[in-house]
Amino acid sequence: MANAKIGIRPIIDGRWGGVRESLEAQTMSLANAAKQLIEENVFYADGTPAQCVISPCTIGGGAEAAKCAEYFATQNVCATLSVTPCWCYGSETMDLDPITIKAIWGFNGTERPGAVYLAAALAAHAQRGLPAFSIYGHDVQDADDKTVPDDVKEKILRFARCAVAVGQMKGKSYVNIGAVAMGIGGSCCDPYVLQHYFGIRPEWVDMCEVTRRVELEIYDKDEYEKALAWVKEHCPEGFDKNAKPSSKERKDWEWEFVTKMTLIIRDIMLGNPKLDDVIPSEAIQGKNGALTTGWHEEALGKNAILGGFQGQRQWTDFMPNCDFTEALLNTSFDWNGKKEPITFATENDGLNGMAMLVGKLLTGTASIFADVRTYWSPEAVKRVTGWTPEGKAANGFIHLINSGAAALDGTGASKDENGNNLIKQWWKVTDEDIDAMLKATDWCQADLGYFRGGGYSSHFKTLAEMPVTMIRFNIIEGLGPVLQLAEGYTVTLPDDVHKTIDMRTDPTWPTTWFAPRIGDNEAFKDVYSVMANWGANHGSLTYGHIGKDLITLASMLRIPVALHNVPDCDIYRPHTWGAFGTKDLEGADYRACQTYGPMYK
């Protein structure tokens, strides 16, 4: 499928005989400036620049609007940005496609009333039930000023980042491998929510498909040998907490199995053309179900943009858990070098998977899956360890930890050119970063009391203080999906303090200490309140403070935001949200989302 594109619509005063002709150059200059800005600063998940297409003509009326729409229909346009320096005819020039996400940039100048068109067009959009974002510069510009003011840039880029994220999800699949893990609500896949709110097709694959592909050798054997050699060299075993450890022979077999499982699950999701030519060995060819003509159906994959694995308990009670696979798929590299992280949810928690996905799509970085496990008050830390939390940890922190399924990017071992620790956009990850992340991680044998089949968990601690945003989607009966987010920082603790606290839970799992930014909001008055208001047992961490982008994205999908700590001045939603109230922005968001309903209804 072609990449989702931003369509730019140059809108012009339709009066020929001097007026229109005098505006052609200025109008197209705005369109080209917007195109250049977006293509230089917004990226697809694969790291390539976002693509924009400009209408084949300026749009002065309905005939040219139709010509533009006809062209955009051939270009997989997911969103349109209409730009104009002048008065135009609002309802005659507007984008009437109910599926495209819409924004209008009205040039703030005195020679021509671009602001008047902007207001008229926004009113027409509101009347037609078509939400549109308003872009209008704070300061007046001269007619020949070809610069894009910073405040306009910010709105154009936020609109484009979020719209491209929405466009990349549409028409893709979520692959449930297995079903519901341990009664976890987020693991109950709701096909209505995925289809109507995100444009994603849910698919189901039984976990025995992994077993079938292992037994019938439905994987690239050359790549498996390469992967296993890399695993043996770069994935050292950590400590084994089990009173009766498994034998070396069993552990070696588990390493082989989880390596195969990683290749197989990737192929289930994305497909692999090499499977067309895979022929089982002679020992396998006599088995039921073995094909000697290649695995053409399996080579196609499921067109997935994300997936999840149930694991517990029907699988993990007798087979190696999926922790290694989950960690490595979500990481920004593997045995082939750096790669786009493949969003894959532990315990098939698709709602947390969606949080991981939007974080990746907005930033290009790996997302960190975790249990929102424990709130540690300063008093509790002092009582248990004798240390008084300080700095960003002074108000307490939340222990984020899960069964070894976290991406290795969560180590924070990557560094920028100034030596600062961070989580990089995956295409900027260097060999030095990969080496540092691997050296910060070991792989501990699973607790055989919980995971009777064994397996290996990524084991690390986040090494540095970094800005992050914790994200979660939840589904509420009678309301639908809602979004929660909390901006804050990873924090580091003295080694002895970390060890004392970490050893109180499962010390073979990866740990991140998270301190949300607190403020006047009732739900963020203290760290305890954030923990108390979090809507589920899981959360996803994305590098950076991206709350304002998430709020904009949620409004495009008509999903209300139930919890956030973003200042009101940074909230950017469609202009018509203001018609639902301006004093209580949260309430207005709920009313607007309820009125407009899901994006793909």
Residues annotated as part of the active site? 347, 371
Strand partners, 204: 176
CA distance 461 to 495: 10
CA distance 393 to 516: 9
Cα-based distances in Å from 7 to 68, 69, 114, 422, 573 = 9, 9, 20, 33, 19
CA distance 452 to 231: 22
* Cβ neighbourhood burial of 279 (10 Å; 0-12, 13-18, 19+): middle
Token representation of residue 575:
């202009």
Task: End-to-end CA distance of the chain: give it in Å, rounded.
Answer: 22
CA distance 444 to 508: 6
- Those residues whose C-beta lies under 8 Å from the C-beta of residue 425, and which sit 6 or more positions away, are 43, 47, 363, 364, 365
CA distance 135 to 157: 11
- b (16+ CB within 10 A) / e for 183-204: ebebbbbbeebbbbbbbbbbbe
Q: What is the dihedral of CA 301, 302, 307, 312, to 10 degrees?
A: -80
Q: Tell me, rounded to whole angstroms, the distance of Cα 573 from its chain centroid.
A: 19
Residue entry with tokens 């060819």: 285
CA nearest to 231, candidates 140, 331, 139, 314: 331
With contact defined as beta carbons under 8 Å apart, do 141 and 107 qualify? yes
With contact defined as beta carbons under 8 Å apart, do 77 and 7 qualify? yes
Token representation of residue 38:
């977006």
**195 DSSP 8-state letter:** I
CA nearest to 237, candidates 226, 249, 251: 251
